[in-house]
Amino acid sequence: MSGKTVLFLAAVLAAGYWLYTHRGPAAKGGSKTETPSADSGAGATGGAGACISAAERANSSLHEAGMLLMRPPVDQSSWATAERRVSSDISSAESSCNGGTPPELEAGKALTLIKSSLSDMRGAAEGRGGATDLARRQGEIDDSLNRARVAMGR
């Protein structure tokens, strides 16, 4: 096995481990990034609440897609389905985040990072690498979503 292949696999495994330990609400046991439903909590049904919930769904879908990279070789059919789901969730979130309130701006930052992560994951799924920065970026996504929740009063 070449050195580049070993480094690529190590980076993918490290990113996958980080994603696994910081999993979203779909995973067992809860996590520090629980996703409240759109109608839970005070004020969550407004535009900013819908925006944050949609961004959290996109983040959760990104996590699920990232888990596919943990089982090489990547099943391209499963990857394509997961990638479409993440892209759809991103589009829905962007539609919901059309206001300029502080929570929506923070959620918008998270969505930009989610798009970058999806692009890097696409490269990794196609064997081109590029997934070495996922753990750091996921931390930034979590921070943006947390700031959005705080600004929303959740």
Amino acid making up residue 31: S
- Asked whether residue 34 is assigned to any structural domain, the reply reads no
35 lies in a domain? no
Q: How many domains does the chain have?
A: 1
Asked whether the whole model's pTM tops 0.75, one would answer no
Q: Give domain status of residue 53, yes or no.
A: yes
Q: How far, in Å, CA of 79 to CA of 136, rounded?
A: 22
DSSP code of residue 46: S
Domain limits at 101? 3-25+40-152
Digitized pLDDT (tens) for each residue of the chain, 154 residues in all: 665 554 555 555 556 555 556 655 443 334 444 444 433 333 444 789 999 999 999 999 999 999 998 888 889 999 999 999 999 999 999 999 988 899 999 999 999 999 999 999 999 998 888 778 899 999 999 999 999 999 988 7
> Which CATH number belongs to the domain containing residue 55 in this structure?
1.20.120
Give the dihedral of Cα atoms 143, 109, 41, 92; nearest 10 deg.
-140
Query: Does 70 map to a domain?
Result: yes
- Under 8 Å between Cβ of 132 and 11: yes
